[in-house]
Amino acid sequence: MKALLIEDTLTSATLVSHQLRKMGIEPILARDGERGIELFKAERPDLILLDIIMPGMDGFEVARRIRQLEQAGEWTPIIFLTARTSDADLEKGISVGGDDYLIKPVSETVLAAKVKAMQRIAQMRYSLLVLTRKLDDANQELTRLSSLDGLTGISNRRQFDEILLREWRRSGRQAKPLSILLCDVDHFKQFNDGYGHQVGDECLKAVARTLQSALRRPADLVSRYGGEEFAAILPDTDLPGALRVAEVMRSAVEGLRITHRFTPNGVVTVSIGVASMVPPRGEADSAGLLKRADDALYGAKQSGRNRISATPIESVA
């Protein structure tokens, strides 16, 4: 442990330094306020013992400047050691950032007790900071987990809704296209009933990974939309671009070759509805875009599944 002793009187500095060493504390001596501030910045001591009456900058100003130098969350105990005994001086010492105020000459017993008290407070404060950081980390992890689907590990519906609203507003401000894909695993009920829920869960996990791997840009997002449905948000993407992404997804899922004897194709496939538009001024949310993607998905299913359907571009302008 290091203590910065800012004291211009040699006799007092020598005595206090001796007392500190007996406590196992390394003293760092400064004879004036300017030097004391320099040593504080260079050494970052664990404790400061500070005289008030010094040539040039007095102890009150030194304490004030040291507090200004500390970063958020930092705290160095400051104990004033002074011959000034008035209540006004004590009040000012505390108000400028001091933590205790001792009248010189200070007995070794009193000084040791005060230093121990400051050490105890510092340790308690450090423990509190550690606990606070752990709580912050835990809260961040909870926030992250709350945005993920528990089964597949990709974004959940809540995250999808939040990101869609954000991208809808951004696209509207910048007059850029925003595309939505709604994806449904074909004949999944029959798959789940025929092979069991555990196999069905593994199928959904594989489909989720495959859909996610089809995205190439950090801003793109694929989410579990509900049950066997997935959804993707493609910012700054027009209808032709969205159709290309959808085809990559459809083809990749079919390429998994997951056996599905309850479907004409014999393997797990997906149907995808695509919608794209530049959010118009005055339209507060993306309900219309989602409705068009849902209608397109219905069209893909009605047309035989394992295919892509899109809302005609002229109907979303």
Active site residues: 228
Q: 105 to each of 16, 26, 85, 90, 294, how far by Cα in Å? A: 10, 20, 12, 16, 83
Location of structure tokens 């894909």? 181
- Helix, strand, or coil here: 144? helix
Q: In 10 A of CB 61, how many CB atoms?
A: 15
**60 alpha-carbon distance from chain centroid:** 39
Torsion of CA 111, 112, 116, 117, to 10 degrees: -40
Please state the φ and ψ torsions of residue 5, each to the nearest 5 degrees. Answer: -105, 115
Q: In 10 A of CB 306, how many CB atoms?
A: 22
CB contact at 8 A, 56 and 34 = yes
The span from the CA of 183 to the CA of 268, in Å, is: 13
Residue 284 CB partners (closer than 8 Å, separation 6+): none
